[in-house]
Copies of this chain bind each other. A is one copy, B any other.
Amino acid sequence: MIRGNKILIADDEPDILEIISFNLQANGYEVSTAKNGDEAFEKAKKILPDLVILDIMMPGKNGIEVCNLLRMIPAFKETLIVFLTALSDETTEIKGLETGADDYLTKPISPKVLISKINALFRRLNKDETGIIQIGDLQINREKYSVKFKEEDIILARKEFELLSLLASKPGKVFLRNEILNQIWGTEVIVGDRTIDVHIRKIRQKLGIDCITTVKGVGYKFEM
């Protein structure tokens, strides 16, 4: 868990608090609890959690009020907020979601499912899936379709980029010629064996460094 592992739970039933706390902690989250809406709001402002789990019916402020108040504070614009309540009526659920909550879960819920849902929310929050391959001084950015070597931009044509991208996706692994053909040309198109060689050559030429190794009779592999 790189970022975002502080969770605040607000519920007026001590049993619920304990069960959920236990399960979240067992999954590596740092948990704080609150017994009512007012306490939840105060604690939230103090500890700045990454996720707030709110019961709706609580003494003091109810969950929806807390959610509203939090969303008004800039620091909580991005904070995950989830309702966890026994209230399963449609109107409340819609109201809850429209308040700016990220999910609305109804009790009873199994701890495992709860954890899965929470993991799913965090997964999207930590969207560091940039599609960048970095090996030594070589950087391949799939999204930008760009290759850099020591801050130097290297322009590759499409097939060249795809080929390098494929080989570099698993450094050290030998890709069979067949495998390469299937991955890059697909099963429909049929091209000669020499075609691969030529593209490999162009990549080697453009990169200027020797990072693609020929494994004679088998295929090619990427190595720095």
Contact = CB atoms under 8 A, between A and B. Distances in A.
B116 A102 contact: no
In the complex this chain forms, how many copies of it are found? 2
Most B CB contacts (10 A, CB to CB) among A102, A143, A218 go to A143
Interface string A165-196: 00000001110000000000000000000000
Interface in A99-117: 100-104, 110, 112-113, 116-117
Nearest to A141: B172
B90 A110 contact: yes
A112 B89 CA distance: 12
A137 interface: no
A204 to B, nearest CB: 19
A144 B173 contact: yes
A79 to B, nearest CB: 11
Nearest to A115: B94
Tell me the dominant secondary structure on chain A's binding face: mixed
Contacts of A145: 174, 215, 218, 221
A46 interface: no
A128 to B, nearest CB: 11
A151 interface: no
B144 A117 contact: no
Contact of A102 (B94, B110, B124, B221): B124
Given A78-B129, A104-B116, 16 more contacts: A74-B142, A74-B143, A78-B127, A90-B112, A93-B116, A94-B113, A97-B113, A97-B117, A97-B120, A141-B172, A143-B173, A145-B174, A145-B218, A146-B172, A157-B216, A158-B215
23 contacts: A74-B142, A74-B143, A77-B129, A78-B127, A78-B129, A90-B110, A90-B112, A93-B116, A94-B113, A98-B116, A100-B123, A102-B120, A103-B103, A103-B117, A104-B116, A124-B124, A141-B172, A145-B174, A145-B215, A145-B218, A146-B172, A157-B217, A158-B216
